[in-house]
Chain A
Amino acid sequence: MSIWSKEIVRDIRTKAKLGRYRVRGYGACRAMPHFDDIAFRIDPKRLDEIGTEPNCNLHTKIGSRFAKRPLELDIPVMVAPMSFGAVSKKVKTILAAGSALAGTASGTGEGGMLDDERAAADKLIYQLTPGRYGFSPHDLRRADAVEFYMSQGAKPGMGGQLMGAKVTEELASMRGIPAGIDLRSPSRHGDILGADDLVIKVEEIREVTNWQCPIGLKLGAGRVREDMAIAAKVGVDFVSLDGLQGGTGAGPEIILENMGIPSLAAIGLAMKGLEEAGATGEVDVIAMGGIRNGMDAAKAIALGAKAVAIGSAALIALDCISCLQCHTNRCPTGLTTQDPAQLQRLNPDCTEISVANLLNSLAREMAIVTAACGKSDVHHLSRSDLVALNPDAAAITGLPMTEKNKEPPTSSGKQRMALSETV
């Protein structure tokens, strides 16, 4: 196939008029190694122990390392943080209410905490971003957990982005910014230039929340091993690890498609980083970025995550058609818009029940996978339950392809493994 596809030609012509990088919403759309490239295997020794789905324990505790009040979740699936800006106030409230119905948590994302969202959520994770929009000590004390946004999977190394069409008076007032500007937020926290600063900043938030809340870092998967060692050192309770397939309300297209580490690879690297830091099991990992169903979620947990979070899938449950126009304020299904007229397009049949049903479906799917593996607790799933289905997946996860051949089978696979180690 020619490298000059129709899409590439159209892209070049568009940029010839535009004079800048192209922006769009959603996440990476191109094919890359993902959870479909690995599978569960049945341990013959456990065939007589096949469990039953209703007896499978899904209860999940996040952040018991230092927090006095860890997050207690009925299921290990949360709703990923999405800002008021990326989505509308109403959608944020629906997502929060859906998470509450399913006994789990949702996240504020950037831009502050909405009262409606707080009221609707049972457990709410409050995000601290470099722009500090709408950040308040009063909301901090209303949070069930706090997450420092360091980067995100869709656009690692970048700050938040919001096109002016979406920056309404209400949104601007909440963030403390002028209405209508194309907001390009700082990518770094000014008061956290390194791990030593972060230690102190984390302590500040602990002081303000009286050491009650779990505190975590949101990391776009990049130098995962090193980042996890830092996370262990700075004293956080959890890391929200967002892989390359993570979504966003707006970001430069080339970044969305090309920067970061696929979620499938990132989780294993995170476990390795924690092991190297002597912190295995201390820092909980919440995996996100392209989680679509309970099988993806179960695989992420078997690779070492404590829980997963769904973003794009939660929006699809509310009728998102994946048209990539999240940044324009003209979302055809009224999800990612702030325009009152466009908001009317929200499907009235898509409610918090839809979100809760999806979360519960994922949980039930995880339970049947766990039971089929002869286990009674989803957190007992492990790497030994997994196999890679192709050399690429074996190389980036370190999983065996078959029982007989536990190492990646080809020299090129080994080379790729070595490459992934150096990422």
Chain B
Amino acid sequence: MVEIDASGMDTADINLKLHDLSSTQESIIIRHPEARHNFAVGLDGSQHIIIDGSVGYFCGGLCDGPTIEVKGNAAWGMADNLMSGTVVVRQNAGSVAGIGMRGGTGVVYGNAGSRSGQAMKKGTLLIAGDAGFMTGYFMIGGRIVILGGAAEGLGECMIRGEIFVAGPIASLGQDAIETEISDRDRQWLSGLLDRWQLGATTFRKVVSAEGLHHYETYEGKERPK
């Protein structure tokens, strides 16, 4: 186990150190994170990083490969633009968790703020608690799984992707519709929940109605051939 005491260190120096440890087989634990922003961003490699406390904005953002576990809370934009790897938050996450994810897995054991999963392209965002309003806004792909309830405007203007919700849904967003859940979905959900030692049995599935994919009318040469 490699131990880094963040107190008194610049965030840039910590990130450089994490970058240098990209091929280490040992776990890296960061003590005294002091809820600082931009911890463990832009990392490539297979590091397993444990942050012993809470973090600020964009923890684990723009990473490709590492596993990052935050023992406390995370502020806005955890795992933003994640390419691959895993970011786990043991308590709550702020707004836009997993914004622009292109792969990998984001897990929030508590609640997540509004617009989580915005503009996601791929990957999985698992929220064990409740999800804030307009979760899945402009989602393009990937899956969001919510074990608690979803606030208003779920899946607002989503283009593609799937949202599974175990709790109540306050309202669906524009162009989001509920659809039947398949056995294949159930099987996938069961595997996901087993992996993270979470449980829920009944889900509803929300997808795009695809009503915003095209203009209703075209002028002149605009229409696709």
Instruction: Confirm or deny: A191 has a beta carbon within 8 angstroms of a beta carbon on chain B.
Output: yes
Q: How far is the CB of A289 from chain B (nearest CB, A)?
A: 25
Instruction: Confirm or deny: A138 has a beta carbon within 8 angstroms of a beta carbon on chain B.
Output: yes
Residue of A with least CB distance to B100: A132
Instruction: Confirm or deny: B154 has a beta carbon within 8 angstroms of a beta carbon on chain A.
Output: no
The residues of A that contact B221 with a CB separation of less than 8 Å are: 325, 328-330
Q: How far is the CB of B37 from chain A (nearest CB, A)?
A: 5
Q: Across the interface, do B220 and A207 meet the contact criterion of CB distance under 8 Å?
A: no
Contacts A14-B219, A327-B222; is A191 near B58 (CB within 8 Å)? Answer: yes
**What's the count of A-B pairs with C-beta under 8 Å?**
131
Instruction: Confirm or deny: B80 has a beta carbon within 8 angstroms of a beta carbon on chain A.
Output: yes
Q: Across the interface, do B118 and A190 meet the contact criterion of CB distance under 8 Å?
A: yes
A131 to B137, CA, bound (A): 11
Residues of A contacting B: mostly: loop
Which A residues, 150 to 192, have Cβ-Cβ distances below 8 Å to chain B? 163-165, 176-178, 180-182, 184, 186, 190-191
Q: How far is the CB of A8 from chain B (nearest CB, A)?
A: 16
A135 to B82, CA, bound (A): 10
> Which residue among A14, A17, A22, A203 has the maximum number of chain B CB atoms within 10 Å of its CB?
A203
Which B residues, 50 to 71, have Cβ-Cβ distances below 8 Å to chain A? 56-58, 61-64
Q: Count of chain A residues with Cβ under 8 Å from any Cβ of B?
A: 44
Instruction: Confirm or deny: B83 has a beta carbon within 8 angstroms of a beta carbon on chain A.
Output: yes
A385 to B121, CA, bound (A): 51
A408 to B27, CA, bound (A): 69
Instruction: Confirm or deny: B165 has a beta carbon within 8 angstroms of a beta carbon on chain A.
Output: no
Q: Across the interface, do B119 and A186 meet the contact criterion of CB distance under 8 Å?
A: yes
Q: Which of A136, A203, A327 contacts B38 (CB 8 A)?
A: A203
Instruction: Confirm or deny: A363 has a beta carbon within 8 angstroms of a beta carbon on chain B.
Output: no
Q: How far is the CB of A389 from chain B (nearest CB, A)?
A: 39
Instruction: Confirm or deny: B15 has a beta carbon within 8 angstroms of a beta carbon on chain A.
Output: yes
Q: Across the interface, do B138 and A131 meet the contact criterion of CB distance under 8 Å?
A: yes
Q: Across the interface, do A200 and B217 meet the contact criterion of CB distance under 8 Å?
A: no
Instruction: Confirm or deny: B173 has a beta carbon within 8 angstroms of a beta carbon on chain A.
Output: no
Instruction: Confirm or deny: A137 has a beta carbon within 8 angstroms of a beta carbon on chain B.
Output: yes
Residue of B with least CB distance to A211: B12
Q: How far is the CB of B79 from chain A (nearest CB, A)?
A: 11
Q: Across the interface, do A328 and B215 meet the contact criterion of CB distance under 8 Å?
A: no
Contacts A190-B115, A200-B57, A204-B57; is A20 near B216 (CB within 8 Å)? Answer: yes
Residue of A with least CB distance to B122: A176
Contacts A165-B225, A176-B102, A176-B122; is A207 near B41 (CB within 8 Å)? Answer: yes
Q: Across the interface, do A180 and B137 meet the contact criterion of CB distance under 8 Å?
A: no
A-B contact pairs, 11 of them (CB 8 A): A20-B215, A136-B81, A137-B62, A137-B63, A191-B76, A200-B38, A203-B11, A204-B37, A204-B61, A207-B11, A328-B220
Known: A132-B99, A135-B81, A329-B221. 15 other contacts (CB 8 A): A131-B119, A132-B100, A137-B42, A163-B224, A164-B213, A176-B121, A180-B213, A190-B95, A200-B57, A204-B41, A204-B57, A208-B41, A208-B62, A209-B42, A330-B221
Leading 7 A-B pairs by shortest Cβ distance: A208-B42, A132-B100, A176-B121, A137-B62, A190-B118, A328-B221, A181-B213
